[in-house]
C-alpha cells in the first residue's frame, strides 16, 4: 500500500504541544508554507502569541487550549480543525513533560502524570485524529517521541518508559492500518537532545537545572523532519547524527552503553545552576514565561545535522554512499599497488 500525502500548502494541520519549543517552530513553518494550522497546548498566552506571530507572517491559525491527559480535550482539537477548516490532513503530536529523578525518588503520582501526558496523550491524539483522517481519505499521523523510545537514560525512567510505550503503540497502529488498507501514514520522529525550554520547565530532584546529553541540536532541525514526514510517508526519522549513533550502539551492544551512561550520564544531564523540585515546572500546569522556540543552550546547540539531512534526501544519501565507495575502491587499489611484489630482473 502506497500512501500519497498532500503538499503542505494544501493541508490542514494540527500541532499539539505548540506553545513552545519544537512545536512552536513546527507550527510557524507549516504556516509559512501555506498550511492552515490548529495549534494546541496548555498555555493560552503562548498559543495567543503564536497565532499573532503566524498572522503577522501572512498565515492562518486557530488556537485550542488543551491538556492532552484528558481525551475530551484532545478530541476538541480535532473537532476544531474540522469546524474551522473543513477537514484534517496531518496530526503532529509533540506535547510532553519531563522529570529528572531516580526511580526511588519518583512518586507514583509523578509516574502517572508523565505517562498520562507523554504516552496516553499520544494515544489520545491518534484516536482523535484517525476518524477525521479517514474521512479526509488520507493523511499523516506524526508522533514526536525521542531517542529514548529505544534507549533510556538514567534519571529519566518515567519519561523513557512513556517514550518506549509510544514506540510500541505506533508499531501496532501501523500494522492495523496496513491490514485494513487505510491510506494513513504513521511516522515516528525521534530527536536527540534539542535546545528547547523543556529542560528549563522540567521538574528535577537533582538539585541542579537539567541539560540534555550533548551534543545538542537546534529545534529547526526537528521541525524540518516533521514537515518532511507530512509530505513523505516515512516510518521513523532519528533527528541528530548523535542520536543515530546512539541507537546504532544500542542495537550492537547495549551492555557497552550501560557502563558508559552509568559513568557519564548523570553529570552530563546537569548544569551548574541550582534548581530545586519546588521551583516552577510544567509537570502539572503550564509555565508561560517559557513560550518560545529555543531553550537556554543556544551557545552550544548545533544548527544543522548532515546525517538527518541525508535521511530526508535519498538522492544525496546515494550520492554520498557512491562517493564513499569510489574513495574506498581508490584506497584499496592504491594499497594493492604498494603491496605488489617487485619484478625479478
Distance separating alpha carbons of residues 196 and 122, to the nearest angstrom: 20
- What are 313's strand-pairing partners? none
Asked if residue 117 lies in contact with residue 99, where contact means CB atoms within 8 angstroms, the answer is: no
Q: Name the E strands within 128-214.
A: 139-144, 184-191, 193-194, 203-204, 208-210
Helix axes 44-56, 21-32, angle to 10 degrees: 30
User: Is 111 in the active site?
Assistant: no
Instruction: In whole angstroms, give the CA distance from residue 315 to residue 235.
Output: 18
Q: Choose, from 159, 217, 228, 290, the residue flagged as catalytic.
A: 159
The residues that bridge with 189 in the sheet, in sequence order, are 144, 237
**Which grid coordinates are listed for 211?**
541539560
**Residue 113 and residue 115: Cα distance in Å, rounded?**
5
What angle do the packed helices 121-136 and 71-85 form, to 10 degrees? 30
Q: Among candidates 240, 219, 200, which has minimal Cα distance to 100?
A: 200
Active site residues: 159
Amino acid at each position: 500500500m502506497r500512501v500519497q500525502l498532500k503538499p503542505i500548502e494544501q493541508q490542514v494541520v494540527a500541532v499539539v504541544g505548540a506553545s513552545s519549543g519544537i512545536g512552536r517552530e513546527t507550527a510557524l513553518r507549516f504556516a509559512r508554507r501555506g498550511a492552515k494550522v490548529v495549534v494546541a497546548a496548555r498555555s493560552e498566552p503562548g498559543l495567543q502569541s503564536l497565532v499573532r506571530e503566524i498572522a503577522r507572517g501572512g498565515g492562518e491559525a486557530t488556537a485550542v487550549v488543551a491538556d492532552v491527559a484528558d481525551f475530551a480535550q484532545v478530541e476538541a482539537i480535532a473537532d476544531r480543525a474540522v469546524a474551522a477548516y473543513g477537514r484534517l490532513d496531518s496530526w503532529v503530536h509533540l506535547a510532553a513533560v519531563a522529570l529528572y529523578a531516580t526511580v526511588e525518588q519518583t512518586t507514583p503520582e509523578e509516574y502517572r502524570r508523565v505517562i498520562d501526558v507523554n504516552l496516553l496523550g499520544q494515544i489520545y491524539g491518534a484516536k482523535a485524529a484517525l476518524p477525521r483522517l479517514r474521512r479526509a481519505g488520507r493523511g499523516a499521523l506524526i508522533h514526536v517521541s525521542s531517542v529514548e523510545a529505544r534507549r533510556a537514560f538514567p534519571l529519566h525512567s518515567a519519561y523513557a518508559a512513556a517514550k518506549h510505550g509510544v514506540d510500541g503503540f505506533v508499531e501496532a497502529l501501523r500494522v492495523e492500518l496496513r491490514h485494513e488498507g487505510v491510506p494513513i501514514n504513521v511516522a515516528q520522529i525521534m530527536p536527540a537532545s534539542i535546545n528547547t525550554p523543556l529542560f528549563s520547565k522540567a521538574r528535577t530532584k537533582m538539585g541542579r537545572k537539567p541539560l540534555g546529553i550533548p551534543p545538542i541540536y537546534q529545534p529547526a532541525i526537528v521541525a524540518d523532519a516533521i514537515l518532511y514526514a507530512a509530505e513523505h510517508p516515512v516510518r521513523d526519522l532519528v533527528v541528530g547524527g548523535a542520536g543515530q549513533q546512539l541507537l546504532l550502539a544500542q542495537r550492537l551492544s547495549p551492555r557497552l552503553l550501560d557502563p558508559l551512561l552509568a559513568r557519564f550520564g548523570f553529570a552530563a544531564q546537569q548544569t551548574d545552576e541550582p534548581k530545586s523540585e519546588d521551583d516552577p515546572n510544567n509537570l502539572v500546569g503550564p509555565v508561560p514565561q517559557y513560550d518560545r522556540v529555543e531553550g537556554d543552550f543556544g551557545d552550544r546547540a548545533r544548527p544543522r545535522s548532515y546525517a538527518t539531512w541525508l535521511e530526508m534526501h535519498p538522492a544525496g544519501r546515494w550520492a554520498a554512499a557512491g562517493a564513499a565507495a569510489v574513495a574506498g575502491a581508490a584506497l584499496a587499489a592504491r594499497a594493492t599497488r604498494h603491496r605488489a611484489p617487485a619484478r625479478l630482473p
